[in-house]
Amino acid sequence: MNESGMSAPVLRVEKLRKSFGDEIVLQDITFSVPEHTATVFIGASGSGKSTLLRCINLLEQVDDGVIKLDGADISAADVNPDEVRKKLGMVFQAFNLFPHMTVLENIILAPTKVQGIGQEEAIAEAFKLLERFGLRDKADQYPDRLSGGQQQRVAIIRSLARHPRLLLLDEITSALDPVLVNEVLSTVRELKGEGMTMVLATHEMGFAKQVANEVCFLHHGKILEWGPPEELLESPKLSETREFIRRVHEAGRL
Amino acid sequence: MSDNRGRGTGENSGSAPYDFGGAWQPSEIEIARRIARKKRNRKNGFIAAFSSLLVLGTLLVVLVTSPGWITLRDTFFKWAYGFEVLPKIILGFGTNATLTLIAGTSVALLGLLIALIRTSRSPALTPFRFLATIYVDVFRGIPMLLVILLVGFGIPALQLKGVTNNVLILGTIAVIITYSAYVAEVIRSGILTVHPSQRAAARSLGLSHIQTLRHVVLPQALKRVTPPLLNDLVALIKDTGLISILGVTDAIRAAQIQTAKSFNYTPYVMAALVFLAVTIPLTRMTDRMLRNSLERQNAQGQA
Ligand SMILES: Nc1ncnc2c1ncn2[C@@H]1O[C@H](COP(=O)(O)OP(=O)(O)O)[C@@H](O)[C@H]1O
Ligand SMILES: [Mg+2]
């Protein structure tokens, strides 16, 4: 797959396998994400996208295979997950903001508690990010008072405040009204433009086309087909891929 | 103003809905609505007052006209005598209050610790998890009176060196032992109701297990179990009276002593009123605190 880059890829996954009980959820997953690129995973619900991202984030223990971050094996038994996660940002489908904290408190939690940055510096940085994404006036609100799109943008800011090496985005627009999807997607496009390295799972084909350097089609836990977005999305080779893309089109999400 | 159904903009229509510039005046419909609402509120207030008067008045009449009313009044509601013994009861209540403070604090800490152990997954804590489970099973299952008797009379009987024989201390320990088992279970259930996705979010931000508990899980869990914990606090205030069985003079015991002297039960009623004077404001205050904090956090206000 994407093996061309001169420097080592930010993320390299080799022959990853994961099962829950008897159900094999992921097998033979191999791909690389070079710096400043985005790899997008598409696939039906239940095909294993979330599980893959959770494995990369060490929220799940893999059954086999290797995950490397900047060349270092993070799937090794003696790795401290907390140290690995300091370099990763993850945004979830359901936002997962902390409901008992204001927007600002959500954002500065990790910088102050994990990275040991001073309160004032963390707040200044948070305000800079909020300003940039047009959410400055929401700093003192509790998440429940925000629209879904605003909540998801706060969740993105919360990951960004930690300056992650790699951002994992798991269907970040699937819980949103079509109208709100755009504000979140344009945020991600902006990040891509700034050179953020990302792995995404999404159903938004149009968006995938815009931000992806590589698209992988996940089918029953295997990467069935992969390639540059124009090729994979417009002239898929396999009938499974064609079928999936046709169904997404029918659902009106292009 | 025409009934304009075509297309238009804020500039040319000049009709109320898009006239952002001028000062807003409530429309006639709104004014009529406000008058109607005011009228309805006044009517509701009148109905509430009338029905309360009717019900309470009927109860009062039934009570005072009943054949035994005079005797009842003289043996239970002899206010002059009641106020005479009130200082002694309040003095006794000092014991209940002190015990509640000491036991309440210890129970909160011990209960939290047990709950954390029971919900932890660390392999190092396995034996403690096991012990904590047994602890909860045992002390939730034994009547507190028995625990008080066993600790209060049993430990002095062992004649251990360096261990206190003070029944007040032993009684308090017995109360702490029992209540910690209850409170641990309440807190544990609160911890379990925090959705795993909250933990996942915290861990993926790089927070350690302990930090996740401290900043994400516990604040949400404790807020959720505040009402049942308050319930336990009120029960604790009352149950501190149980250690009077060991010979400690608390409010109930003080009332009992007075009653034994005079064969009049008014001291019991006074003791009841003293307990109510503390528990009712406490309940109201905590209710309000909880509501305020939920209102700040939830868009839909209190449900
Ligand atoms: N914790 C779990 N325990 C058991 N099965 C799981 C668990 N998480 C996910 N699965 C299963 O793994 C499969 C892939 O799920 P998921 O990764 O969430 O798919 P996707 O994100 O592509 O919709 C599904 O069949 C799901 O039921
Ligand atoms: Mg998913």
pLDDT attached to residue A30 = 96
Which residue in the block uniquely carries the two structure tokens 């239970």? B76
Residue with CA nearest ligand 1 atom 20: A46
Q: Which domain holds residue B118?
A: 93-250
How many A from CA of A92 to the centre of ligand 2?
9
Structure confidence by residue, pLDDT tens digits, A97-152: 999 999 999 999 999 999 999 999 999 999 999 999 899 999 999 999 999 999 99
Three-state SS sequence of B92-145: HHHHHHHHHHHHHHHHHHHHHHHHHHHHCCCHHHHHHHHHHHHHHHHHHHCCHH
Q: Which of A96, A103, A105 to mutate to test the interface with B (most CBs of B within 10 A)?
A: A96
Domain presence at residue B129: yes
Look at residue B300 and tell me whether its pLDDT is greater than 80. no
- Phi then psi for A90, rounded to 5 degrees? -135, 135
Look at residue B19 and tell me whether its pLDDT is greater than 80. no
**Mean predicted lDDT score pLDDT of chain A:** 92
Note whether A114 contacts B: Cβ–Cβ < 8 A.
yes
Domain presence at residue A196: no
Structure confidence by residue, pLDDT tens digits, A17-42: 999 999 999 999 999 999 999 999 99
- Determine the Cα–Cα distance for residues B301 and A150; give it in Å rounded to an integer: 20
Domain presence at residue A64: no
Structure confidence by residue, pLDDT tens digits, B112-159: 999 999 998 888 999 999 999 999 999 999 999 999 999 988 888 888
Q: Which domain holds residue A110?
A: 98-164
Domain presence at residue B274: no
pLDDT attached to residue A188 = 92
Can you tell me the mean pLDDT for A228-252? 89
Whether the Cβ atoms of residue B95 and residue B251 lie closer than 8 Å to each other: yes
Asked whether the beta carbons of residue A59 and residue B200 sit closer than 8 angstroms, the reply is: yes
**Interface predicted TM-score (ipTM):** 0.87
Residue in chain B lying closest to A93 (CA): B197
Domain presence at residue A254: no
Domain presence at residue A120: yes
Look at residue B7 and tell me whether its pLDDT is greater than 60. no
Domain presence at residue A135: yes
- Is pLDDT larger for residue B65 or for residue A15? A15
Q: How many domains does chain B have?
A: 1
Q: Which residue in B205, B216, B219 is closest to A162 by CB distance?
A: B205
Q: How many domains does chain A have?
A: 1
Whether the Cβ atoms of residue A199 and residue A11 lie closer than 8 Å to each other: yes
- Is pLDDT larger for residue A141 or for residue A4? A141
Domain presence at residue A43: no
Instruction: Report DSSP state, residue A9.
Output: P
Neighboring chain A residues of B223 at a CB cutoff of 8 Å = 100
Give the pTM: 0.81
Gap from A235 CA to chain B (nearest CA, Å): 36
Residue in chain A lying closest to B223 (CA): A100
Structure confidence by residue, pLDDT tens digits, A227-238: 999 999 999 999
Residues 174-203 of B with CB under 8 A from A: 197-198, 200-203
